[in-house]
Amino acid sequence: MTLRELYDALGGSYDDAVGRLRSERLVSRMVKKFPNDTSCERAISAWEAGDTHAAFEAAHEAKGVCSNLYLIRLQERASAVCEALRPESESLGQAEVDGLVELLREEHAATVSEIARYVASL
């Protein structure tokens, strides 16, 4: 699997990532480190524990990490959770936020899995 194929599978933007980080080698190195980032998992576990503030903070962090790597689909999921939990925003119901958090969980798991496939192919 090439890095471009990985980005296609993840719904990311390979060209933008390489443009931002200036080399495919650096993008590859950063993507391989992504599974060690805990921000998505912290957002999910904080929401499940009822800590809305911590869930918001972690989702905001996840949104930034994903944005920097141009992992667009995962960034959109993290952003949706972040905006739903933003203190000054209109509150969504518990079930609606649960659904957004579940989408984040699924997309994060799929992303980590695809990255593992990429790493195994090197």
What pLDDT does 95 receive? Answer: 86
What pLDDT does 91 receive? Answer: 73
49-97 tens-digit pLDDT: 999 999 999 999 999 999 999 999 999 999 999 999 988 777 778 889 9
Question: Torsion angle of alpha carbons 54, 68, 86, 56, nearest 10°?
Answer: -10
DSSP SS3 for 50:
coil
16-48 tens-digit pLDDT: 999 999 999 999 999 999 999 999 999 999 999
Q: What stretches of the chain show up as alpha helix (H) in DSSP?
A: 3-10, 14-21, 24-33, 39-48, 52-68, 72-85, 94-121
Residue of 20, 10, 32 whose CA lies nearest to 121: 32
Residue of 103, 110, 115 whose CA lies nearest to 27: 115
pTM of the model as a whole? 0.92
